[in-house]
Structure 1
Amino acid sequence: MVTTLKRLLIGRPLKTREIGHAKIGVIKGMAVMTPDALSSVAYATDQMELVLASVIGAASSKAYISNVLGFSMLGTFIIVALAFLLYFAYRSIIQEYPRGGGAYAIGLHDLGKYWGLSAASTLIVGYTLTVAVSIAAGIDAIGPVIPLIGHHKLIVNIVLTLMIMLINLRGTSESANVFVPFTYIFIGCILLLGATAVVKALIHPSSIHVPSLTGMHAVQGMGLFLFLRMFASGCSALTGVEAVSNSVPVFKEPSPARAQRLLLTLVVTLSVLFMIVSGTSMLHGLKYNPDVPLINQESMILFGTHGFGYIVTVIVSMSTMCILAIAANTAFTGCPALWSSMARDGFMPRWLLHKGDRLVYSNGIVFLTLISLILTIGFDAKVSGLMPLYGVSVFYTFSVSQLGMLVRTLRNREGKWVSRACGSGCGFALTAAACLIFGITRFTSGAWLVIVCVPLMVIMFSKIQRHYREIREELKYDFSRPLQPDRDSITLVPIASVNKSSVHALEYALANFKHVVAVSVIAQNSQEEADEVERTLRAQWERLNSGVRLVVIHSQYRSVARRIQRFVDLELDRYDPEDITVVVPQFITKKWWHTLLHNKTGSILMAWLVLSKSVKVIAVPYRLKR
């Protein structure tokens, strides 16, 4: 029943060799990885104008308002330049780290362990907030249009989060098919808005106001700190750019080249859309309104509120609502990929490393969903108070990536390293300044949580790595110690590798039974990795010189317990159940929370054998001391 429901919801399991069908190109990548960045266009200009509202009086003229908004346009140009600096940095990161990881990878390898872990921590905070906040923002936007949704925001939020989770569990390509229309409709709407603004400006030049240097200089109350605050707020337009570098392996081959192409497409598209929204607002002197976003104001002015123009305005508004809601999909792609990279380095539980039935990081997707739902329910789907965390989190990771590329460039000094170093240096200065400004101006509004959460997360990741390192050292088998079985025996011994725990179980089997067969299942993400693991295992087995036959099975569906179960079923065709004994190696961790960091393959296998078969099952424990 459970299996049938699972197949109905997420589809049939894919074999490892079908990985090519699960990967995506640039067109689908725009729908999977860019909604978070593109959706920021809907509020970045608003955030800048919110800061500038303090220097705009109630009776200000249109010309004066446009002069004030000229600073927002200046900030837009600087942010666009920063976006291209980030592009060059992340383009190099994608080339250097094709397995993904982004700021975490370059921080870890070029700056040091704690730089990488702190960048990863802020990324995780940002991704979690992206899921909770973007879905809540989308529902808040749709609520006034559909009152039923507005009256049941929390329930709708939970349902929508679970729906996006299920869509992502079906695979990256399938989720892209769902979100492609919404993404490109939003892009088309903003481009239409920009084209209409240009045409109307040419037809009615008297209706627009272009700021002048003299007029901007005459703006009262505009100082450097206010401009920097505005710049930092507008930098929210760059959220989500990191996701591409975190998820390089999901692209079709050549993965790095396609990821770089998508990153360039994203930066260019984001820059154009951002300049359209900021430019149209400036030319028409549109002020910040907490009840009516600037995009809605612009569409009302350009298309009108009657007839066909009203229909276009509604489409623009609905596309904006949809892109805000599906911005969560970027986190569902980027965060599990980041966790997988961290698990590969030993900083996260191993069960976040491997892909599931549909060749996506299903454990990470479910885990992210649980965290975001806890956050959503805890704040009753009103998570706007946590928005200040975005700025500090995002720009800290940007700063780490820029600093990492600067250090790497100065260390290697290859090619045109001087120009690259200058670009990375400028990028670091701008992103670090934005991070610092966010931290100071939004400290009491919630940014202080980053200062508390990030060090705690870094400590947690370090403890996880230390645990895995201690386990590895304690399980490492000493080949100088000869294998001395007491007497013959017969049994099946499932092993993952040659370590103290598996050898301990093997010795027990040899001491008590006549014939012993060791069985090892290899479940890797590619055939090349599987072949390498098998070569290593067989080399260790030859050094062990146990005289026991080793059977190596490759699992196309990445399920260890299921393949061993199938092997036992085949043996039952040759032997009676009472003639078969399965000896299962198990190591017992010292602390209770250590058990959460390891797979439960042995327990699943024993439960299946005890409940479904009549064969003898013996668990041979090996107790860890640390």
Structure 2
Amino acid sequence: MTTTSSVKRLLVGKPLKTKENQHAKIGILKGMAVMTPDALSSVAYATDQMEAVLAGLITAASTQAYLTNVLGFSMLGTAIIVGLAFLLFLAYRNIIAQYPQGGGAYAIGLNDLGKFWGLSAASTLIVGYTLTVAVSIAAGVDAIAPVIPFIAAHKLLFNVLLTLLIMFVNLRGTGESANVFVPFTYVFIGCIGLLGVTAIVRILMDPNQIHVPTAAGMHAVQGMGMFLFLRMFANGCSALTGIEAVSNSVPVFKEPSAKRAQGLLLTLVVTLSVLFFVVSGVAMLGGLQYNPDVPLINQESMMVFGTHGIGYIFTVIVSLSTMCILAIAANTAFTGCPALWSAMARDGFMPRWMLHKGNRLVYSNGIVFLTFISLLLTLCFDAKVGRLMPLYGVSVFYTFTISQLGMVVRVLRERRAKWMVSAISSTCGLVLTGGACLVFGVTRFTNGAWVVFICVPTMVMLFSRIQKHYQCIREDLKYDMTRTFQPSKEAITIVPIASINKSSVNALEYAVANFKNVIAVTVIASDSEEENRRRTVKIEAEWEELHTGVRLVVIHSQYRAVAKRLQRFIDFELQKYRPENITVVIPQFITKRWWHKLLHNKTGSILLAWLLINKSIKVVSVPYHLER
């Protein structure tokens, strides 16, 4: 086993056989750890994002009742977003059933709306996934940096290291990455659940301290308009990021994969809704306001558990679990994005090397490529969450909008049983997600969302060019079956040699054994006519002594350009023979040490590259390995 293979096995594990594919797949329990951290972690900042918009309505002189009524809008937004989550569940549940090979919004856009819609959905999904990695890891590092000063001083370095760590965990396989992330996911769910239960107990023990908003009070809030509410709603919809990952990654589930994916999607939506209600509800009932330095979850844990004794321990655990879920939210992208790229490669819109699974039965090429793009984003934006976030919202909700629009078109076209109910629910989802996308695009355009409007059309054109290339390849390679299979008898094999040595004789023996009409060609390029004659006599004498039975052609190069002279000789032969009837057998000796290569000219390699790039003739490279 080579050193490279040993290191690779150490980092990612031993290769798995294709028949072990079912063992490498996951169920709902592990699926929650692999595909839901992105969605679940969003409840850690979604309510903050809504209250950030409402903060302008609250003044220092605001009464407790007024504050409660203002925060009531965040609770109203939460309820609408939860309703939207269930509409998305219905849409993606149907998408999973219709497209069990994965693809999500890309698949439904491509098949129900047309190529542009499918590719634009794929483009925004890719932007969203790469941003998920960059934003999630940056948020996780930001969350833990205040606790560890060394990390705070080297944030960018730890962003890179954490990205690479998650990449290597995913390269080891979906099952192993799930084993690593399962504890963090369920600890976070348990912490938010405990926070909600403890808050309810405290309310029951002292209900007088709780203020509940009223419809009249909310109506009386000054400055609250429809545009501000839509902006708050759009910010809160960040809680829905990551839901589409399940529909993109259906093939990674155990059979029946579609049923398990649908089950996980329902579990995710229910869990997400409960956690979102807990965070928004505790914030509203406790009168907690947006603080850019202290997230609401931290405020809530300090309010509910306290900052002393055992309560402080629970507060620290909630904070640490939030940090962990934010960091591993990137894992959702490492599962969903390579699966999406594989689906696109199957349709011819991405390179073929994205299609196949690697040694550990995961899309390893896609995982490495996603890591490269995410690190590029991290470095370009200096791992600043605030600079990355504006690109996020438009990407996520455009894909939601495409999926809803595709479902509306499909339902109206097929009109199966109860199609009216499905059409109404999908239309409502289309209006809500489309509205959120529009609000994000308008309000965040100058803050960086404009980048998405440039990247997406560019990517759509790139994917179309890739598909066109593959179509041209298929057309060029398609064989005319009416053409009689009749190999030509007029053919020539050329063996360029520098001198009579083991490497050139090895190549010559191969050519004579496998081809007819073989000729050897040597180019002599010396500084004087006398030296040219001397070298010509020497090689012709050695050739006679070799008794090959092969004709030797000696060419003199006045300009001392050996490779160029060989190229001219081959061009001359192309005037007499068709390209498919010419074979060039190139002898090449392989040095034992890598640095030995630097000590030799590259005539054979130059000729090989020129032939492969410019000519349609057959080329054979015959290696000879040197022992020292």
- Equivalent of residue 227 in structure 2, options 225, 242, 258: 225
How many Å apart are 1:450 and its aligned residue?
A: 1.1
Task: For 1:214 and 1:396, locate their aligned partners in 2 and report how far apart those are by CA, in whole Å.
Answer: 35
Shift in CA distance, 352/159, structure 1 to aligned 2, threshold 3 Å: same
Partner of 2:96: 94
CA contact (8 A) 1:66 1:285 kept: yes
- Equivalent of residue 46 in structure 2, options 41, 44, 47: 44
One-letter amino acid of the counterpart of residue 4, structure 1: S
Partner of 1:187: 189
Task: For 1:19 and 1:612, locate their aligned partners in 2 and report how far apart those are by CA, in whole Å.
Answer: 39
One-letter amino acid of the counterpart of residue 119, structure 1: A
Partner of 2:161: 159
One-letter amino acid of the counterpart of residue 13, structure 1: P
Task: For 2:447 and 2:184, locate their aligned partners in 1 and report how far apart those are by CA, in whole Å.
Answer: 33
CA contact (8 A) 2:35 2:245 kept: yes
- Equivalent of residue 321 in structure 1, options 311, 320, 323: 323
One-letter amino acid of the counterpart of residue 34, structure 2: V
Partner of 1:440: 442
How many Å apart are 1:64 and its aligned residue?
A: 1.3
Task: Give me the TM-score of the superposition, normalised by structure 1.
Answer: 0.79
Partner of 1:203: 205
Mean alpha-carbon deviation: is it higher for 358-367 or for 143-152?
Answer: 143-152
Partner of 2:295: 293
Task: For 1:587 and 1:328, locate their aligned partners in 2 and report how far apart those are by CA, in whole Å.
Answer: 45
Partner of 2:133: 131
Task: For 2:461 and 2:52, locate their aligned partners in 1 and report how far apart those are by CA, in whole Å.
Answer: 37
For residues 68-467 of structure 1, the aligned pairs below 5 Å read: 68-467=70-469
Shift in CA distance, 590/94, structure 1 to aligned 2, threshold 3 Å: farther
CA contact (8 A) 1:402 1:428 kept: yes
Higher Cα Rg, which structure:
2
One-letter amino acid of the counterpart of residue 155, structure 2: K
CA contact (8 A) 1:98 1:256 kept: yes
Task: For 1:589 and 1:16, locate their aligned partners in 2 and report how far apart those are by CA, in whole Å.
Answer: 35
Task: For 1:293 and 1:128, locate their aligned partners in 2 and report how far apart those are by CA, in whole Å.
Answer: 24
- Equivalent of residue 512 in structure 1, options 515, 522, 529: 515
Task: For 2:268 and 2:392, locate their aligned partners in 1 and report how far apart those are by CA, in whole Å.
Answer: 20
One-letter amino acid of the counterpart of residue 515, structure 2: N
SS at match of 1:355: coil
SS at match of 1:101: coil
Task: For 2:432 and 2:625, locate their aligned partners in 1 and report how far apart those are by CA, in whole Å.
Answer: 63
Partner of 1:575: none
Shift in CA distance, 486/95, structure 1 to aligned 2, threshold 3 Å: same
Task: For 2:124 and 2:153, locate their aligned partners in 1 and report how far apart those are by CA, in whole Å.
Answer: 33
Task: For 1:26 and 1:402, locate their aligned partners in 2 and report how far apart those are by CA, in whole Å.
Answer: 25
How many Å apart are 1:486 and its aligned residue?
A: 3.7
CA contact (8 A) 2:381 2:387 kept: no
Task: For 1:129 and 1:257, locate their aligned partners in 2 and report how far apart those are by CA, in whole Å.
Answer: 29
Task: For 2:126 and 2:333, locate their aligned partners in 1 and report how far apart those are by CA, in whole Å.
Answer: 9
Task: Note the aligned Cα RMSD (angstroms).
Answer: 2.4
Task: For 2:200 and 2:358, locate their aligned partners in 1 and report how far apart those are by CA, in whole Å.
Answer: 49
Task: For 1:587 and 1:188, locate their aligned partners in 2 and report how far apart those are by CA, in whole Å.
Answer: 65
Task: Give me the TM-score of the superposition, normalised by structure 2.
Answer: 0.79
CA contact (8 A) 1:66 1:282 kept: yes
How many Å apart are 1:587 and its aligned residue?
A: 11
1:29 lines up with 2:56 in the alignment? no
Task: For 1:29 and 1:314, locate their aligned partners in 2 and report how far apart those are by CA, in whole Å.
Answer: 27
One-letter amino acid of the counterpart of residue 450, structure 2: W
One-letter amino acid of the counterpart of residue 134, structure 1: S
Shift in CA distance, 206/355, structure 1 to aligned 2, threshold 3 Å: same
One-letter amino acid of the counterpart of residue 29, structure 1: G
Task: For 1:104 and 1:149, locate their aligned partners in 2 and report how far apart those are by CA, in whole Å.
Answer: 39
SS at match of 2:291: coil
How many Å apart are 1:59 and its aligned residue?
A: 2.2
One-letter amino acid of the counterpart of residue 302, structure 1: V
CA contact (8 A) 1:169 1:358 kept: yes
Partner of 1:67: 69
How many Å apart are 1:510 and its aligned residue?
A: 13
CA contact (8 A) 2:381 2:388 kept: no
Aligned residues: 514
Task: For 1:65 and 1:476, locate their aligned partners in 2 and report how far apart those are by CA, in whole Å.
Answer: 72
How many Å apart are 1:380 and its aligned residue?
A: 2.1
Partner of 1:610: 623
CA contact (8 A) 1:37 1:270 kept: yes
CA contact (8 A) 2:38 2:242 kept: yes
Shift in CA distance, 364/513, structure 1 to aligned 2, threshold 3 Å: farther
CA contact (8 A) 2:102 2:343 kept: yes
Task: For 2:625 and 2:75, locate their aligned partners in 1 and report how far apart those are by CA, in whole Å.
Answer: 69
Task: For 2:129 and 2:444, locate their aligned partners in 1 and report how far apart those are by CA, in whole Å.
Answer: 19
Task: For 1:99 and 1:170, locate their aligned partners in 2 and report how far apart those are by CA, in whole Å.
Answer: 22
CA contact (8 A) 1:48 1:230 kept: yes
How many Å apart are 1:611 and its aligned residue?
A: 6.5
Task: For 2:324 and 2:490, locate their aligned partners in 1 and report how far apart those are by CA, in whole Å.
Answer: 68
Shift in CA distance, 193/589, structure 1 to aligned 2, threshold 3 Å: farther
SS at match of 1:90: helix
One-letter amino acid of the counterpart of residue 44, structure 2: A
Partner of 2:565: none
One-letter amino acid of the counterpart of residue 133, structure 1: V
Shift in CA distance, 587/164, structure 1 to aligned 2, threshold 3 Å: farther
Residues 571-625 of structure 1: CA deviation (Å, up to 9, x unaligned)? xxxxxxxxxxxxx9x996789xxxxxxxxxx99xx88x737699xxxxxxxxxxx
Shift in CA distance, 188/471, structure 1 to aligned 2, threshold 3 Å: same
SS at match of 1:610: strand
One-letter amino acid of the counterpart of residue 201, structure 2: V
Partner of 2:605: none
Shift in CA distance, 271/476, structure 1 to aligned 2, threshold 3 Å: same
Task: For 2:613 and 2:276, locate their aligned partners in 1 and report how far apart those are by CA, in whole Å.
Answer: 53
CA contact (8 A) 2:24 2:173 kept: yes
Structure 2, unmatched stretches of 5+, are 492-510, 518-607
How many Å apart are 1:379 and its aligned residue?
A: 2.1
One-letter amino acid of the counterpart of residue 430, structure 2: F
How many Å apart are 1:398 and its aligned residue?
A: 0.3
One-letter amino acid of the counterpart of residue 284, structure 1: G
Shift in CA distance, 485/512, structure 1 to aligned 2, threshold 3 Å: farther
Shift in CA distance, 590/309, structure 1 to aligned 2, threshold 3 Å: farther
CA contact (8 A) 2:394 2:440 kept: yes
One-letter amino acid of the counterpart of residue 117, structure 1: L
How many Å apart are 1:488 and its aligned residue?
A: 12
Percent of residue pairs identical: 72
Task: For 1:384 and 1:121, locate their aligned partners in 2 and report how far apart those are by CA, in whole Å.
Answer: 22
One-letter amino acid of the counterpart of residue 512, structure 1: F
How many Å apart are 1:487 and its aligned residue?
A: 5.3
CA contact (8 A) 2:130 2:374 kept: yes
Task: For 1:8 and 1:228, locate their aligned partners in 2 and report how far apart those are by CA, in whole Å.
Answer: 51
Task: For 1:419 and 1:301, locate their aligned partners in 2 and report how far apart those are by CA, in whole Å.
Answer: 44
